Amino acid sequence: MAADNPFLPTFGTSPPVLAGRDDVVARFTRAFERGPVHPDYTMLISGVRGVGKTVLLNEAEDAALRLGWRVVSVSASVPGLCRQITNAALEHLREAEDGRAPRRISSVNVLGVGVAWTEQPVTEAGIAVDLRSALTSLAGHLADGDTGLLLTVDELQAVEREEATELAASVQHIARRELLPLAFVGAALPEIDETLLTDRGMTFFQRCARARLLPLERSDTQSALRKPITRAGGRIGDEALELAVDASGGHPFTIQLLGYHSWEMAAPDRHITVKHAQAGIFEAEQAVLDQIVKPIWSGLSAIDRSFLQAMSVDDADSEINAIADRIKRSPNYAQTYRRRLIDAGAIEPAGRGKVRFTHQSLRPWLRSQQ
């Protein structure tokens, strides 16, 4: 690998250029500054795998740290979510009382931060501390010092119901009712709209402000590719750039892969031509297949799969009605599967009555499976 490659095709890692997300960043930054009455003070970010949700949580955390806030950053895909947040809050409270500088306590780099994540926290008198009282004490303390706490929860679609209920009740009470400075940003796959958010008792999450992340616009995709290249002392021809932009579909993870592999193809020259872009696209598509498409596929039902197989017959966008015919179902029935497959990140709307594959590598792969 060329040591100077500016692209970062790794989940959860901030990109060299964060393109097209200024509006979302501005929304939460303004909310942190304005305080708990701001509608974006509790926010839910959703979007398909690789669209840039975790990166935006990192941005929110950085914005909060810049304001001198404390940050708790957890993922709902690990067990004991509320206990983890409770322990992190108590650790922050101790540090705040000792006058130590604000920082981020995260479940990702938990080793070495001195927080006992899995133990049930207790007071000096031996009484169990629950999430709500730990967060209330911390937020109350921070309010006195005119600062705040940001809680981010990633992978919220994977949360256990009991944990979700406790978390919702606590944050709702502290931020919305008591108006204490506890801001919340969650991130989830779009399926959350059909799962957690349909449950009774999840009003808090239903009422969070929403940021639905879409693929990047063409001009943002261009700068996400070109800026890192020029900043690293390289260049990319217009035609090569257009090829890469088209192949990415505006999908941020694919953009990083394309940039990365095109750069490698050009190394050590740093001048990316059409030939390098084509070879880079080929490499990137293999990686997208392994890291995104196959994981999506393994989570699909037999009917979801037959819908996609029926689409792979077409060389370009597919008509829903034609798909319905091919899988011998009614158009209404096909609509249900259309929605599910969009949420899963397998397909995208392509104008009236049409859909297309989100990742172009899915078509040849499906054809090779038959």
Ligand X SMILES: Nc1ncnc2c1ncn2[C@@H]1O[C@H](COP(=O)(O)OP(=O)(O)O)[C@@H](O)[C@H]1O
- Summarize as ranges the residues that interact with Mg ion (CB under 5 A): 53-54
Q: Is 287 in the site for ligand X (CB under 6 A)?
A: no
Q: Is 226 in the site for ligand X (CB under 6 A)?
A: no
Tokens of 233: 């002392």
Tokens of 329: 């179902």
> By the 8 A CB rule, do 312 and 362 touch?
yes
With respect to ligand X, which residue has the nearer C-beta, 87 or 152? Answer: 152
When binding is defined by CB under 6 A, the residue of 24, 43, 44, 55 that contacts ligand X is 55
Nearest distance, CB of residue 201 and ligand X, angstroms: 26
Binding mask 236-275 for ligand X (x = CB under 6 A): ----------------xx-xx-------------------
Span near ligand X by CB under 6 A; candidates 43-51, 82-90, 158-166, 172-180: 43-51
C-alpha pair distances (Å), 69 with each of 42, 139, 163, 235, 353: 16, 10, 25, 40, 47
Span near ligand X by CB under 6 A; candidates 52-60, 168-176, 177-185, 191-199: 52-60
> By the 8 A CB rule, do 41 and 180 touch?
no
When binding is defined by CB under 6 A, the residue of 29, 46, 54, 136 that contacts ligand X is 54
Q: Is 12 in the site for ligand X (CB under 6 A)?
A: yes
Q: Is 9 in the site for ligand X (CB under 6 A)?
A: yes
Choosing among ligand X, Mg ion, none, which partner's interface includes residue 321 (Cβ < 5 to 8 Å by kind)? none
Amino acid letter at 88?
A: A
How far is it, in rounded angstroms, from Cα 120 to Cα 128? 7
**Could you tell me how many residues of this chain bind ligand X (CB under 6 A)?**
25
How far is it, in rounded angstroms, from Cα 254 to Cα 26? 25
Say which residue the tokens 């690293």 belong to: 232
Choosing among ligand X, Mg ion, none, which partner's interface includes residue 255 (Cβ < 5 to 8 Å by kind)? ligand X
With respect to ligand X, which residue has the nearer C-beta, 148 or 252? Answer: 252
Q: Which of 59, 45, 46 is nearest to 12 (CA)?
A: 59
72 in the Ramachandran plot: left (φ > 0), alpha (ψ -120 to 50) or beta? beta
With respect to ligand X, which residue has the nearer C-beta, 224 or 346? Answer: 224
DSSP 343: H
Q: Cα-Cα-Cα-Cα dihedral of 311, 317, 320, 321, to 10°?
A: -90
How far is it, in rounded angstroms, from Cα 30 to Cα 175? 16
Choosing among Mg ion, ligand X, none, which partner's interface includes residue 8 (Cβ < 5 to 8 Å by kind)? ligand X
Q: Is 20 in the site for ligand X (CB under 6 A)?
A: yes
Choosing among ligand X, Mg ion, none, which partner's interface includes residue 102 (Cβ < 5 to 8 Å by kind)? none
Amino acid letter at 96?
A: A
Q: Is 142 in the site for ligand X (CB under 6 A)?
A: no
Q: Which of 1, 49, 50, 47 is nearest to 24 (CA)?
A: 47
When binding is defined by CB under 6 A, the residue of 72, 142, 224, 245 that contacts ligand X is 224
Amino acid letter at 29?
A: T
Choosing among ligand X, Mg ion, none, which partner's interface includes residue 6 (Cβ < 5 to 8 Å by kind)? none
Q: Is 156 in the site for ligand X (CB under 6 A)?
A: no
With respect to Mg ion, which residue has the nearer C-beta, 153 or 168? Answer: 153
DSSP 280-294: HHHHHHHHHIIIIIH
- Residues found near ligand X in the complex (CB under 6 A): 8-15, 18-21, 47, 49-55, 224, 252-253, 255-256
